[in-house]
A = this chain, B = another copy of it.
Amino acid sequence: MQKKADVLVIGGGPAGVVSAVTAKQFYPDKNILLMKSIEHGCIPCGIPYMLSSLKNPDENKMGNAPLEKNNIEVVSEEATKINREKKEVTTAYGNTYGYEKLILATGSSPIIPNLPGVNKKGVYPIYKIMGYLKDFVKEIKESKSVLVIGGGFIGVEFADEISKLTGIKVYLVELLPEILINSFDSEFSEFATEKLKSKGVELITGTKVEEILGNEKVESVLLSDGRKIEVDSVILGIGAIPDTKLAIDVNLDLDFGKGIWTDEYMRTVDPDIFAVGDCAGKRDFFTRKYAPVMLASTATAEARVAGANLYELKVIKENKGTIAIYSTYIDGLVLGSAGLTESHAKREGFDVIIGEAQGIDKHPGSLPGASNIKVKLIFSRRAGIILGGQVAGGAANSELINMIGVAIQKRMSATELETLQVATHPYLTSAPTMYPIIVAAQAVSRKM
């Protein structure tokens, strides 16, 4: 079968869907086709919550509704080859699809470490496939003990969710001395450590998994400290690599494992091929170095730029490079990070000034539901602008980190932040006299 679309999107994750919908909105006369290899996918960031928070794992499905609503055709076929000269894509079924503009949103695959026993039953990489994950959820729920490898966001969120299920012992093993340490400075990652410990999760840091033991199925795990831990299931939460096979074959790959090269408008070296999301290479906002950031929020931001700019440059990209803005939630505790951490900034050679604030997120603090709040801002001493920020506390911190994110993207100064006008309310925020971003910016200003 041969078919032709004006815009062909490969990938059915958030980057693919948002690219297609944005393209339709900016170019309503173009016909748009989205091709995906997984018929029933999942909302990526919702996967840990299929274990306990969601009553039914199906609630986390990645539906086609926004595509159907926007009159975008969907085919479930695996793309196997791009022909740049003919401008067509061949699929595993042998069909070819022509395009004017091609958007690669092929995503990423979980890293499978080179570890003896890693292929045994009961060892789970996190594939974003509904059928696979439903079986996974069932198996985890029937386990007596689960070991999670990797103390990044995914690992921490799995550990938290599984600890809500009664009767399951949870271990979290991290090679580095602390968890979440790529995104937070120690004093913030410690909040997560304490929270997980209080929930009964056994944290094992600075330790490597040497081998997964058992017959067909995992029975225990051998650690670098010599311990052998009996477990029924192992979750691999050590990250992902860009899925760039299609792109490598036609010389669009940046460097193995670092994604597809794109310019600021998500164009590859081929003017008719764009790449967005996990499969596209990322650079840091400040250092301009390669940044291994794979987030649906980054992916969708890129997808909006690509979708709008397929035929004309309609949306100017002002915020270049990723600010690696994250938030996570552990049993009531919100942790957020944006831009550079203090340790990352120092490692890169920035001369920094730190401002901190601690307080309570209602005023007076005796109002029901009040939480402690901690904010840290990192500034460049010479440039005088904000490089990064971290927050810890209650629910409103999810948007407090986004406010810091805007400040970073607008390269705001300490003076601008310390004179910022903010809305405060007894039930909703710290007191206006103690608003944490302002207090932290004042501390920076005094040290300048």
Binding site for B on A (CB under 8 A): 14, 17-18, 21-22, 25-26, 43, 45-46, 49, 53-55, 59-60, 66, 295-301, 304-305, 315-319, 322-323, 325-329, 334, 336, 338, 363-364, 366-368, 394-403, 405-407, 409-410, 412, 415-416, 418-429, 431-433, 435, 438, 442, 445-446
Chain B min CB distance to A169 (Å): 24
Asked if residues A296 and B424 are in contact (CB atoms below 8 Å), the reply is yes
The residues of B that contact A316 with a CB separation of less than 8 Å are: 415
The residues of B that contact A296 with a CB separation of less than 8 Å are: 424, 431-433
Partner of A406, one of B45, B301, B317, B410: B410
Asked if residues A315 and B415 are in contact (CB atoms below 8 Å), the reply is yes
The residues of B that contact A334 with a CB separation of less than 8 Å are: 428
Asked if residues A315 and B418 are in contact (CB atoms below 8 Å), the reply is yes
The 17 listed contacts between A and B (C-beta, < 8 Å) are: A18-B433, A45-B424, A60-B364, A296-B433, A297-B432, A304-B419, A304-B442, A325-B423, A327-B424, A327-B428, A328-B425, A398-B423, A399-B402, A400-B402, A402-B423, A409-B420, A409-B421
Chain B min CB distance to A9 (Å): 14
Asked if residues A446 and B25 are in contact (CB atoms below 8 Å), the reply is yes
Q: What's the Cα separation between A363 and B423 when bound, in Å?
A: 26
The residues of B that contact A424 with a CB separation of less than 8 Å are: 45, 295-297, 327
Chain B, Cβ-Cβ closest to A369:
B395
For the complex of A and B, the 8 pairs showing the least CB-CB separation, nearest first, are A399-B399, A398-B428, A327-B423, A329-B427, A297-B432, A300-B432, A403-B403, A296-B432
The residues of B that contact A298 with a CB separation of less than 8 Å are: 421
Asked if residues A401 and B423 are in contact (CB atoms below 8 Å), the reply is yes
Asked if residues B433 and A17 are in contact (CB atoms below 8 Å), the reply is yes
Asked if residues B297 and A421 are in contact (CB atoms below 8 Å), the reply is yes
The residues of B that contact A43 with a CB separation of less than 8 Å are: 363-364, 426, 431
Chain B min CB distance to A33 (Å): 19
Q: What's the Cα separation between A327 and B366 when bound, in Å?
A: 19
The residues of B that contact A299 with a CB separation of less than 8 Å are: 432
Asked if residues B368 and A433 are in contact (CB atoms below 8 Å), the reply is no
The residues of B that contact A315 with a CB separation of less than 8 Å are: 415, 418-419, 445
Asked if residues B14 and A423 are in contact (CB atoms below 8 Å), the reply is no
Q: What's the Cα separation between A402 and B407 when bound, in Å?
A: 11
Partner of A301, one of B322, B420, B428: B420
Asked if residues A426 and B46 are in contact (CB atoms below 8 Å), the reply is yes
The residues of B that contact A420 with a CB separation of less than 8 Å are: 301, 319, 405-406, 409
The residues of B that contact A416 with a CB separation of less than 8 Å are: 318-319, 409-410
Partner of A45, one of B53, B297, B322, B425: B425
Partner of A322, one of B55, B407, B421, B433: B421
Q: What's the Cα separation between A405 and B49 when bound, in Å?
A: 32
Chain B, Cβ-Cβ closest to A398:
B428
Other CB < 8 Å A-B pairs besides A299-B432, A334-B428, 18 of them?
A25-B446, A43-B431, A49-B427, A297-B424, A297-B432, A305-B419, A315-B419, A318-B415, A318-B416, A325-B421, A325-B422, A395-B396, A400-B402, A401-B423, A402-B403, A405-B422, A406-B406, A406-B407
Asked if residues A323 and B421 are in contact (CB atoms below 8 Å), the reply is yes
Chain B, Cβ-Cβ closest to A45:
B426
Name which of A26, A318, A334, A433 has the most chain B CB atoms within 10 A of its CB: A433
Asked if residues B396 and A398 are in contact (CB atoms below 8 Å), the reply is yes
Name which of A367, A422, A445 has the most chain B CB atoms within 10 A of its CB: A422
The residues of B that contact A318 with a CB separation of less than 8 Å are: 415-416, 419
Q: What's the Cα separation between A338 and B445 when bound, in Å?
A: 26
**CB within 8 Å for A300 and B399 given contacts A329-B427, A419-B315:** no
Asked if residues A14 and B432 are in contact (CB atoms below 8 Å), the reply is yes
Chain B min CB distance to A206 (Å): 27
The residues of B that contact A364 with a CB separation of less than 8 Å are: 43, 46, 54, 59-60
Q: What's the Cα separation between A403 and B398 when bound, in Å?
A: 11
Chain B min CB distance to A74 (Å): 15
Q: What's the Cα separation between A318 and B60 when bound, in Å?
A: 45
